[in-house]
Chains A and B, each alone.
Chain A
């Protein structure tokens, strides 16, 4: 029990060091106020202890000036902490464009990871060091939450939509991966390992594994098999909106309003097409909920996103 007894977690990602700095700043602020209150209470309690039972202290009702001071000073400090935290949070919320894209499916009590090149892993995630990695996650049943303490990142994994998270590992090694949102009987066994490797060894691992077909290829097959092209072929006057170059674009909706076409929009349009109808098109698309598994939806979404690259290359 005594051999490995850390008191502070490893910092193994670019975000970790920034979060730790903010953490220590707040810690110092808290320590200062706690010590201030403790010493004041302690000294007053000793200095003004009751000497005789009939002692009657002078009445002091209060001072407005002091009230204002100890309202505004904490408020100012609070706003500094808020701004610092908010800036860092927004940076954490948006992955860089060139990040390595990995897909995660959370299922009651295991994590399934899928690399675009086709590698599949259960409860283990191999990532290269020094390169941003973007995770697009969804759950097959209840709410889970992917938490890697060493990277200081955590995001809930929801049924019915995608959530995203990103990190850039800075130290090769093996780190804990936890499920942080209570999800049932074996919530505490839904754990895994993140293995951070040198880029060279990572490519070797990527190539070596039983690399089945890439996600895009499987997505293309499913796209053809479900006959999506019959409506969505990119010719003008097609019955469905063109999907080429759709990812990341802003889509105008019927009845006003617009939405950014991110992974969640693509998934929702397959499972519940009536929710958001593109302006200028009829709501005739049937729902594919139940016909396509969670992995199938991933493959279709990756294929649609890959269309975007093809258009750019042409």
Chain B
């Protein structure tokens, strides 16, 4: 079984695991720069138009945002426990935690969909249909462009993450993973935690802008 897992161009299973883990970390660096571009643009405009961004941010629903943060942190926990289960070889725990992580991911996406629904109804989706009272409308629309593009990009990465978890579930049901070889679980874990870290930053900078000004 383990020979089949070792690719022909690696000498040892350790070397292959080393390469996969380094490969994922380098990929995460590209993701940091990918999100970094839009984070930079957001930070620059927030620096210039703080009042408008604060007013626009007050229309975001902190409760749903907070719950989503908790959901994502919980999914990170279940992911780590899944990796531990794979390392210790208990297949039932691995299947359970992977499934739980995937479900939590879907819950996050569900809450996100509800939030987007509310924003559509309130006419806060940028474009011709954008309605925002008061003199700050122009820059508020800029805020909502960032809100939708950043959370949308993050949600897209969540969908890919859930897909990868489904692929892991299929593999582990077929018994591919053993204490000697569970690299895919660990690598997908790294990706999942990274997507969680992106949300950890997204939540405060989008939802909590100048809240102390009152509603």
Contact = CB atoms under 8 A, between A and B. Distances in A.
Contact of B138 (A255, A272, A283, A284): A272
Q: Is the interface of A mostly helix, strand, loop or mixed?
A: loop
Interface stretch (B44-52, B149-157, B186-194): B44-52
B136 interface: yes
A57 to B, nearest CB: 37
A279 to B, nearest CB: 13
B139 A272 contact: yes
18 contacts: A255-B50, A272-B138, A272-B139, A273-B135, A274-B49, A274-B136, A274-B139, A275-B48, A275-B49, A275-B52, A275-B139, A283-B51, A283-B135, A284-B135, A285-B135, A286-B135, A287-B135, A287-B138
A289 B135 contact: no
Interface of B: 48-52, 135-136, 138-139
Contacts of B136: 274
Contacts of A287: 135, 138
A254 B3 CA distance: 68
A277 interface: yes
Interface size on A, as a range, is 10 to 19
Contacts of A284: 135
Nearest to A275: B49
A304 B158 CA distance: 53
Nearest to B51: A274
A285 B138 CA distance: 14
Contacts of B138: 272, 287, 289
Nearest to B137: A287
B209 to A, nearest CB: 13
A275 B53 CA distance: 11
Contacts of B135: 273-274, 283-287
Contacts of A272: 138-139
